[in-house]
Chains A and B, each alone.
Chain A
Amino acid sequence: MLKNAKIGVKLGVGFGFLIVVIAIIAIIAISSQLRVSERVSYLLEVNLEKQNHGNEVVTQLFTNASAYKSIALGENIQEQRAIIRETSAEVASRIDIVERLLNPNNREEAALWTNALNARAAYRNVLGVMDAYIEADDLDSVIAFITGEFTDRQQDYLRSFESFADFQANFMQTSGQAIESQIAQSIMTLVIVIVISLLIAIIFAVIITRMITKPISECVDVAQNLGHGHTNVKIVVDSKDETGILKEAMRTMASAIQGVYEDCIFLSGEAAAGKMSTRLDIRKHDNDFSKLVAGINGILDAIAAPLKETMEVVDKLANKDLTVRVTTKYPGDFDTLMQNMNQAAKTLEESLVQVDMAVEQITAASNEISSGSQVLAEATSEQASSLEEISSSLEEINSLTGNNADNAKSGLKLADQAVMSVDASNEAMEKMNKAMEAILKSSQETGKILKNIDEIAFQTNLLALNAAVEAAHAGDAGKGFAVVAEEVKNLALRSAEAAKTTNDLIDDSTRNSEMGARIVEQVTKSFIEMKEQFNKVKSIVNEISASSDEQAHGVNQISTGVNEMNRVTQQNAANAEESASAAEQLTSQAAELKSMVATFSINKRASGGTFRAAPTKNLHVTSDRRQAPAQISHAKPKNAYEVKPEAMLPLDSFDDDFDDFK
């Protein structure tokens, strides 16, 4: 029921609920506040007052009692009695006030109060007796009385008023606690009420807000879809408020747009399918939409008529009648189209005339190409055989180079061995040198020994002489001894002689050894030179080896090059063959083309004057194979067809040039 209400009603219900809740909360808070303040003021005005007056009565009683005690102690009686009167009047007035404030419903208080009044009456009786004693100036009796009955009555009186005051205090305390609990209870009630109200308010807010915003956002989606070109939109009207009306309007708008869109799609589909006679129903659409549809129908009408004529002309062109043209005049771009069409037909006709002529030229040119290709093929085969010869020569060179490198390597090995031999020889020479030195040394040793022998021989000689001298001294007795001495002397001389000879021999051997050492030195030097030379030989052989390797590498490169050349030559041969067969094919195709062109009905006069002939010399093919490639490259169509109109040849001179092909 709320769903179908107007937005104003929905908002009124929501806000009204909130106002009622706030009022209820305010009433609850104020009433509990009022109750509490009433009770507190009662406590302050009545109970506290009663307690104060009770306490004051007790104070006055103390003063009164002390006044009597002073009289008993013999102080100024008149002064004390004035004080007593004053206190009695004060007490009477307090009691009057309390009487007025008494709560008639409180029995305990009434009982306490009656008790207090009775205690007061008893005390006053005692005071009467006391006053009589004072009047009589009987102070001893006064003292006795004070210490006796007077004190008892005074105590009773005091206690009764104290208990009344205590009652008041207790009553106030319990009342205060009651007030506190009442405040707490009312706060709790308030909190509960507020929480519940808030929850309900939130629920209301959410429901109402959703009821308003959801349909609006749906409408926004629909509008955006339409804006982005999506005409197929779904709108469900599920309420009767303002949003429902808005949705209904949106649905109407969408269906109108969708109708126009669907009609346009349908018509364009028909047009695309070639059904140009289909038209749209204007009555299905209202106002501006109907004008739009009528315009579209008009476009189709404008296209269909020229299209029909075009179709007829093209049909004739398709049947190889190139003389047909469009004759009707059409507005705007259709006129351009028709003129272009006529131009196309005309150009096609002219082209065919040109093709007819060109085919003749092609036939001649392809014959030339055929013969040129044959010459090229022959030359290529010659080149191939030459290349084969080069290749075999290169192989020979390669094997020779390999031998060279191998020989160089063996030479290197031999040189190494020679160097090693020289080193070995050098070592042997050194050993020999050492041996000779040893010989020299032992010769010197032997020389020393010989010198010793010589010395000994000399000494022996001296001994022999001494013996001879002694023998002489002995006279005849020494004769035999003299002979022995002579013999010894001779032996000594011979020894010396032998030593000398040996020494000479050793000297010779020393000289020979020295000479040998010199020779060894020379030989060693020669060997070192030899080693150096061998090293040089090694480096030279190394160079030879490296050069051989390089040579082999070079020969390999040449070989690769020749192989490449061979491949290219083969390719060339194949190409020449292909070119020959292509030329043949070209000839046959040119013939076919000519027969095809003959099937067209064309007006040769119409286009003969504008025929664009290529300069014929560019198509010229000679049989000279050295020039052939250059000539062929000149024959590329790029140059042939870039001739400007001014350079075009008249028909008669063209015929003359044609003779060059014969």
Chain B
Amino acid sequence: MSKDAMLETSVFEGKYLTFNLMDEFYGINVDRILQIIAIPDITKIPKTPPFVKGVINLRGKIIPVIDLRLRFKLPEQEYDDRTSIVIIKIKTEKGEVFIGIIVDKVREVLDIHANEIEKTPTFGVELDTQFILAMAKVKNNVVTLLDISKILTDIELTQIKNVA
């Protein structure tokens, strides 16, 4: 790897929480993460997009929950005893927003170094890849590092915030 590339990728160096969706590995920077919980009872909210599953009560705080599979247009799967919710915080102009993300299975907290990171490949067509930070190769697996603040559009965020 060239030094430039190293410089470019070193931006993304840090600790990531890895998890699975459809047997694929994804990573979220731990700075964004507030807490990881097992899936509790979810209160459904009407008139919301399908990926918004509802809200949960986390120690007296109402937090909206979204299903990442649905957000990524992956086939829906019934929740099992490995399904977990990762609570993240997103900074907007109007302040911090807490959102719960439903994932298939949380894996571990990894230190990902710059030499393990590659830039997001271009797929030749114009795809919406702005929520991907980079790709990391860890232990023969490819981990997609997500920019979690880009997962939702501003409008969506606003909607969700209103819900909360």
| A interface with B by C-beta (< 8 Å) | 454-455, 458-459, 461-462, 465-466, 468-469, 471-473, 482, 485, 489
Contact = CB atoms under 8 A, between A and B. Distances in A.
Contacts of B81: 454-455, 458
A455, A461, A465, A471 — most chain B CB neighbours (10 Å): A465
B38 A469 contact: no
Tell me the dominant secondary structure on chain A's binding face: helix
Contacts of A485: 109
Contact of A466 (B31, B35, B108): B35
B31 A462 contact: no
B9 interface: no
Interface in B5-39: 15, 17, 30-31, 33, 35-38
Contacts of B36: 462, 465-466, 469
Contacts of B33: 469
B84 interface: yes
A659 to B, nearest CB: 136
A458 B38 contact: yes
A54 to B, nearest CB: 168
B82 interface: yes
Contacts of A471: 109
Contacts of A454: 81
6 contacts: A461-B106, A462-B38, A465-B106, A465-B108, A469-B17, A469-B35
A459, A461, A471 — most chain B CB neighbours (10 Å): A461
Contact of B37 (A462, A482, A489): A462
A459 B38 contact: yes
A469 B30 contact: yes
A454 B82 CA distance: 10
Given A469-B30, A469-B109, A489-B108, A462 B15 contact: no
Nearest to B18: A465
B16 to A, nearest CB: 9
A485 B33 CA distance: 16
B106 A462 contact: yes
Given A469-B30, A469-B35, A473-B30, A462 B84 contact: yes
B36 to A, nearest CB: 5
A500 to B, nearest CB: 12
A459 B33 CA distance: 17
Contacts of A482: 109
A472 B30 contact: yes
Interface string B105-121: 01011000000000000
Nearest to A478: B15
A104 B120 CA distance: 215
A469 B87 CA distance: 11
Interface of B: 15, 17, 30-31, 33, 35-38, 81-82, 84, 106, 108-109
A458 B33 CA distance: 19
A461 B81 CA distance: 12
Nearest to B34: A469
Contacts of A461: 106
B121 to A, nearest CB: 27
A449 B44 CA distance: 32
Nearest to A462: B36
Contacts of B109: 465, 468-469, 471-472, 482, 485
Nearest to B110: A468
A504 to B, nearest CB: 17
A458 B82 contact: yes
Contacts of B82: 458
Contacts of A473: 30-31
Contacts of B37: 462
A76 B8 CA distance: 218
A481 to B, nearest CB: 11
Given A455-B81, A469-B36, 16 more contacts: A458-B82, A462-B37, A462-B84, A465-B17, A465-B109, A466-B35, A466-B36, A468-B15, A468-B17, A468-B108, A469-B35, A469-B109, A471-B109, A472-B30, A473-B30, A485-B109
Question: Would you list the 4 A-B pairs with minimal beta carbon distance, nearest first?
Answer: A468-B109, A472-B15, A472-B30, A469-B30
Nearest to B35: A466
Contacts of B31: 472-473
A465 to B, nearest CB: 5
A116 B75 CA distance: 190
A459, A468, A469, A473 — most chain B CB neighbours (10 Å): A469
Nearest to A493: B108
A478 to B, nearest CB: 10
A461 B33 CA distance: 16
B155 to A, nearest CB: 29
A12 to B, nearest CB: 167
Contacts of B35: 466, 469
Contacts of B30: 468-469, 472-473
B22 to A, nearest CB: 20
A456 B40 CA distance: 15
A469 B30 CA distance: 6
A463 to B, nearest CB: 9
A27 B108 CA distance: 185
Contacts of A466: 35-36
A455 B81 CA distance: 8
A476 to B, nearest CB: 12
A448 to B, nearest CB: 13
Contacts of A462: 36-38, 84, 106
Contacts of A459: 38
Nearest to B37: A462
Nearest to B85: A462
B17, B31, B35, B36 — most chain A CB neighbours (10 Å): B36
B139 to A, nearest CB: 15
A569 to B, nearest CB: 106
A458 B109 CA distance: 15
Contacts of B38: 458-459, 462
B108 to A, nearest CB: 7
A255 B66 CA distance: 175
B86 to A, nearest CB: 9
Nearest to A455: B81
A320 B57 CA distance: 167
A469 B17 CA distance: 8
Contacts of B17: 465, 468-469
B69 to A, nearest CB: 19
Contacts of A468: 15, 17, 30, 108-109
